Amino acid sequence: MSDKRAVLRNAAIVLSVACIVIGACLAAEVISLNSFINSLTIQIELINAEIDFLQTIAAMESFPPLPAADSARFVYSLHASSTNPSWYTTYRSWGCAFFKTRSSEAVPTQDMVFAENNKVMYFYTAVTSDFASYDGKSIYLDKNLSQVEAALERPWCAGLYIHELMTYISGQNSWNWTTAINSLDWEYLDSLVHEAWQAGKKVMWSEPSYAWQTVYEQRTADLWLNQTVWRETVIVTFATNFPTQIWNCAENAYATAARFQMLLGESVQDWYFVDQGLAATQEMTEWLGRTGWTARARYFEVEAQNMNPSGAFMAGIQSLVHSYGADKTPPEQTILYDPVGAEGHVSQQTAFTITATDTNGTLATMYRMDNGEWQSYESPFTLTGYAEGQHTIDCAAVDNAGNVADLTEQVNLNA
């Protein structure tokens, strides 16, 4: 009888364990199913919110007009030129010569030096969600204002680039975009905007559709974006790197730019088309223009998996550049001074004056001595403190389309 009890007891134990295992598996399946349902519910809520927003837009006769702007500027990711430095000459021949550098712990970065040596204006990436770290330094969480200030002081720097901060925070919070807006370090961003504004430079801020929709709807962001400094400095840039049309509603960015009278930009990325299940072809790039959206943008940040100028995607970008009637004419530049005695001979008191004019406006004028660091030209300068002998003065003027005028003067400094 005791043997039977033992067998029954053991059977009961095995059955209990089996029940526990089966119950755990079922619970896991339920949890997994619930997680899936919750995720699906969030997506449905987002889609419904997007539909409501689009219906509101459709009911409006029009958005307020955007502020007047000069011809479009195309900003290329500099890592493409790092892969093949000769590509940048092709991009410039199309009529655009701005680049976007990556961040690093030290300024100048390798990207910045490359751009400056090749006389290319660039936007310095101040904060980004693209890299957990770069050169051993956390990009977003460890902010470095002094590093940004050092970048803005460089005359070839056209401004700052901010990439998908709201997207990063939203992704860490079950894609809750309201949480993302409220969790941003607005005070730090405000310091970046003011630094750029004081330097007379811009801040490109790239986010996908939902981010700008939430900015438009959450009036708490108005406190920052409605400041004159922000309106004059920030370029609301729309990122096309999410895989569905509904995530890529350009009207959200346009609505934000129109409300605050800011400049409008677009981050054009070929993997958007790949995610759509479409080849990254010239036709797909041109499709952006056919929607009528690109005609309103003034800045384009171009980034692709393959930025070879001969590729189909970049051919599409070239067609967009040409559709704006790209300005390929550099500024007219002169360097004036009164020689001492023989032509080209100067003294330490000789004043050098640089002039630069362009029909579309001059973005930057600068010079350097004997292949040294570039300096912004503000007023006439002398060679006081330089040694007697021959010296080389390089001048550069950049217009609002990125065209560069080069001028080199050889002088002999007399004692």
Asked if the domains 73-323 and 332-413 are classified in one and the same CATH topology, the answer is no
Assess whether the previous peptide bond of 243 is cis (omega < 30° from 0).
Answer: no
Coil, strand or helix: which one is 397?
Answer: strand
Amino acid residing at 202: K
Helices 2-59 and 209-217 meet at what angle, rounded to 10? 70
Give the burial string for 338-371 (b: 16+ CB within 10 Å, else e).
Answer: eebeeeeebeeebebebebebeeebbbbbbbeee
The Cβ of residue 87 has, within 10 Å, a number of other Cβ atoms equal to 18
* Alpha-carbon span 42 to 268, nearest angstrom: 27
- Rounded to a whole number of angstroms, the CA Rg of the chain reads 28
- Using CA atoms, how far residue 327 sits from 77, 196, 288, 319, 331, in Å, is 20, 25, 21, 14, 11
CA proximity to 175, closest of 337, 25, 39: 39
10-residue averages of pLDDT along the chain (415 residues): 43 52 60 64 61 56 60 82 84 85 79 90 84 46 80 95 85 86 89 96 90 87 92 89 55 84 84 58 62 69 85 83 83 93 88 93 93 95 93 95 92 88
Q: Where are the alpha helices (DSSP H) in 154-281?
A: 165-171, 177-183, 186-198, 209-217, 222-225, 228-233, 251-260, 271-275
Pick the CATH number of 73-323 from 3.40.109.10, 3.40.50.1470, 3.20.20.80, 3.40.50.720: 3.20.20.80
Cβ-proximal residues to 77 (8 Å cutoff; 6+ apart), any chain: 99, 100, 301, 302, 303, 304, 307
Domain ranges for the chain: 1-61, 73-323, 332-413
pLDDT computed for residue 199 by the predictor: 95
Residue 139 contacts by C-beta under 8 Å, 6 or more apart in sequence?
103, 125, 127, 128, 129, 130, 131, 132, 133
Which single residue is written with the structure tokens 């007023």?
379
The reported pLDDT for the residue numbered 128 is 77
CB 78 within 8 Å of CB 71? no
For residue 261, give both structure tokens.
């009278």
Give the separation between CA 405 and CA 399, rounded to whole angstroms: 9
Residue 34: count other Cβ atoms within 10 Å of its Cβ: 10
How many Å separate Cα 380 from the centre of its chain? 34
Q: How far is Cα 157 from Cα 107, in angstroms, rounded to an integer?
A: 12
- Domain 332-413 has what CATH class? mainly beta
Query: How would you class 137 by CB atoms within 10 Å of its CB: exposed for 0-12, middle for 13-18, buried for 19 or more?
Result: middle
The CA-atom distances, in angstroms, between 205 and each of 193, 256, 265 are: 11, 12, 9
- Distances from the Cα of 167 to the Cα of 48, 52, 213, 415, angstroms: 19, 21, 12, 61
Can you say how many angstroms the Cα of residue 240 is from the centroid of all Cα atoms in its chain?
12
Report the pLDDT value the prediction gives residue 371, as an integer from 0 to 100: 93
In this predicted structure, what is the pLDDT of residue 368? 96
CB 197 within 8 A of CB 136: no
